């Protein structure tokens, strides 16, 4: 088991990611104190009932006092407000990081407010589920998953190394990227799939009256799997769309072009083109399994309930 890495960690926001971090910190003994902050009194109360930290406060400014590590786990659109609130209360040498899935926007929002004596290291753990709130978290969420840092110029190597060791203690594999490159990569591997899922499920919902509720009644695995993505936190995904707009629009344009190609192939009965596309995409699935990012199990490894 890793030794205590930080005397005091402040978690700003205690949803799925924040509460999973809290559970791992507690299980691994990575900090002597864990201060949890949430603007929602109900959320904070629930975090205390779950014993996720050692103290609980509504004000982020109060939470970060004397903290050695601050992890901001809020929707990306709230990043600047948090940065403004905590800036003058951060102690010299503290590491401040985040978990947002858009990095260029978070840096633009937070970096201007970070004092020179603070180590601001933007981060993004590529882990999660469609559930949200403090009850949604669980220990081991980050095990075997990537955590990507997008360090600023002149980032202190010792601080970067210490934050890397923290995420590795949680089981993550750590990598570094340029923030703009990160946002483009995430636009295709995460943001676009969620947007497509929201759109397909929305279309199906519109068809419910036409099909007399048969869409839901006869949901096959394909549609059902889209609904899992489409059940993700609306606030988070609204902010992702608004704060990674350029990269998402670029990927949507590419997707639209490829969709038009597929439409033409279907319309003109071009089976060879369809077979080539479906074979290529099947190989992508196999590559993901080989990379250890999923398991080759029936029904994605779900347990199917016996009727």
Give the domains, in start order, of the chain with CATH numbers. 6-177 (3.40.50.720), 181-269 (1.10.3660.10)
Token pair of 286 as six digits: 């196999």
Q: pLDDT (tens digit, 9 = 90+) per residue, 70-99?
A: 999 999 999 999 999 999 999 999 999 999
Q: What is the pLDDT of residue 297?
A: 64
48-67 confidence digits (pLDDT tens): 999 999 999 999 999 999 99
pLDDT, position 226? 86
**pLDDT tens-digit readout, 93-124:** 999 999 999 999 999 999 999 999 999 999 99
Number of Cβ within a 10 Å radius of residue 306: 4
Report the pLDDT value the prediction gives residue 146, as an integer from 0 to 100.
95
Please name which of 246, 252, 250 lies closest in space to residue 195, comparing C-alpha atoms. 252
Spatial neighbors of 98 by CB under 8 A, at least 6 apart, are: 71, 72, 73, 79, 106, 110, 122, 123, 124
Low-confidence ranges of the chain (pLDDT < 70): 1-2, 208-213, 293-307
């Amino acid at each position: 088991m890793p030794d205590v890495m930080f005397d005091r960690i402040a978690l700003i926001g205690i949803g799925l990611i924040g509460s999973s971090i809290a559970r791992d910190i507690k299980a691994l003994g990575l900090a002597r104190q864990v201060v949890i902050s949430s603007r929602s009194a109900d959320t904070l109360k629930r975090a205390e009932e779950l014993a996720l930290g050692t103290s609980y406060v509504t004000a982020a400014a109060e939470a970060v006092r004397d903290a050695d590590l601050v992890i901001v786990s809020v929707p990306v659109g709230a990043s600047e407000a948090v940065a403004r609130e905590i800036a003058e209360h951060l102690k010299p040498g503290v590491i401040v990081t985040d978990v947002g899935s858009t990095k260029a926007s978070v840096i633009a929002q937070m970096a201007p407010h970070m004092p020179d004596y603070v180590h601001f290291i933007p981060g993004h753990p590529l882990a999660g589920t469609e559930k949200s709130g403090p009850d949604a978290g669980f220990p081991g969420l980050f095990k075997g998953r990537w955590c990507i840092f997008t360090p600023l110029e002149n980032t202190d190597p010792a601080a970067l190394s210490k934050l890397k060791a923290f995420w590795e203690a949680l089981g993550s594999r750590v990598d570094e990227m340029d923030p703009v490159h990160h946002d483009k990569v995430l636009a295709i591997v995460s943001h676009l799939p969620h947007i497509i899922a929201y759109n397909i499920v929305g279309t199906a919902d519109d068809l419910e009256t036409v099909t007399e509720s048969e869409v839901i009644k006869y949901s096959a695995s394909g549609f059902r799997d889209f609904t899992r993505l489409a059940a993700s936190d609306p606030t988070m995904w609204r902010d992702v769309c608004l704060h990674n707009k350029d990269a998402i629009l670029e990927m949507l344009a590419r997707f639209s072009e490829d969709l038009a190609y597929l439409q033409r192939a279907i319309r003109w009965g071009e089976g060879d083109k369809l077979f080539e596309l479906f074979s290529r995409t099947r190989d992508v699935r196999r590559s993901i399994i080989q990379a250890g990012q999923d398991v080759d199990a029936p029904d994605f490894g779900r347990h199917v309930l016996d009727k």
